[in-house]
Homo-oligomer: A and B are copies of this chain.
């Protein structure tokens, strides 16, 4: 069982044509059950395994789905990927995963490589940097289904899966206000990514709705990179007004801010109330527990996988779907508790 056995070998053994063997192996309806059985048994016996290269070449499809994410090593992304993998694996699709590391350049290369690899579909969460979308139009122009999740962009015929970031931002902000905050700061990711943009807009709307004035000092646009929170902390300390509420677009960043602020003598939530985003595990480890917005990563992955596969199977037509919104949820915890 070491040399490659092909359908020709099986055909010879069974005195049938290779075509019959091929059909039998693929459970083609027009093959009699008896020969089908014979084919399968001899295949098993001979240790036959189909050569995907040949099948792919012939069918011009690969049973493979490409995925591009900003980074593999983020908790949120890994839960999404776990979800995608789970459904893809179940129905026999392979996943080729690559990361852009937030670089537009790398994202372009990845997109090209995956295209060359003949993926049947592409799932993308965009890099922060990305401003041009030509590399993705190569897919749409070839009718290769393309779906965005989380970091989405509105491209014709490309559905998106995400949560209602605006509403979530609104709720998070409203929560801070209802807990007594009036001098808020929103620490955002790059605003050219719609996820952050919309949270920000929800934030602004909430301020407005509560007659709290907004100006540029109420927003800090960052990379949300925890290794460089110092400038953020400085910003907070040097603020003219005493900031009493922080809405931070990432739990991880928020947790690190809390640690640092505590180190500088701030009491959370007494001096500053903080709400994060994502419901990352750290949010329950940090003291005080971090209030946050639950963001269903695994579910998002499952849904992305299911959607794209259903589309590939022709079960549903994704083109007509514009976007799928997942439910988010405000989780009130200690970091925004009222103090007496």
- Which residues in B have their C-beta under 8 angstroms from that of A298? 73
Q: So how many copies of this chain end up in the complex?
A: 2
A76-105 residues at the B interface, CB under 8 angstroms: 77-79, 81-82, 85-86, 89, 92, 94-99, 101
* B62, B98, B116: the one within 8 Å of A89 (CB): B98
B53, B89, B256: the one contacting A53 at CB < 8 Å is B53
Complexed CA–CA distance, A115 and B97 (Å): 18
Contact A2 B142 (CB under 8 A): yes
Task: Give residues in A with beta carbon < 8 Å to B.
Answer: 1-2, 49-54, 56-57, 60, 62, 64, 71-75, 77-79, 81-82, 85-86, 89, 92, 94-99, 101, 106, 109-110, 113-118, 141-142, 252, 255-256, 259, 281-282, 284-287, 298
Give min CB distance, A125 to chain B, whole Å. Answer: 14
Q: Which 10 A-B pairs have the closest CB atoms?
A: A53-B57, A73-B82, A53-B56, A72-B82, A78-B78, A73-B78, A73-B79, A287-B287, A72-B81, A94-B96
Contacts of A117 in B (CB 8 A): 52, 64, 94
A95-B97, A255-B285, A287-B287 are known contacts; what are 11 more A-B pairs with Cβ within 8 Å? A49-B116, A53-B56, A72-B81, A72-B85, A73-B79, A73-B298, A81-B97, A85-B98, A94-B117, A95-B96, A286-B286
Q: In the complex, which residue of chain B has the Cβ closest to the Cβ of A1?
A: B141
Task: Give 12 pairs: A residue, B residue, CB < 8 Å, sorted on A.
Answer: A50-B116, A51-B57, A53-B57, A54-B57, A56-B57, A64-B96, A72-B78, A73-B78, A85-B97, A85-B98, A89-B109, A282-B282
Residue of B nearest to A59 (CB): B53
Residues of B contacting A71 in the complex (Cβ-Cβ under 8 angstroms): 82
The answer to whether B53 touches A118 (Cβ under 8 A) is yes
- B99→A113 contact, CB < 8 A: no
| CB neighbours of A72 from chain B (8 A) | 78, 81-82, 85
Q: Are B141 and A2 in contact (CB under 8 A)?
A: yes
* Min CB gap A46→B, angstroms: 14
Shortest distance between the CB of A112 and any CB in chain B (Å): 8
Point out the residues of chain B lying under 8 angstroms from A142, CB to CB: 2
- By beta carbon, the residue of chain B nearest A74 is B78
Chain B's closest residue to A66 (CB) is B94
Cβ B113 vs Cβ A94 within 8 A? yes
Chain B residue, CB-CB nearest to A289: B259
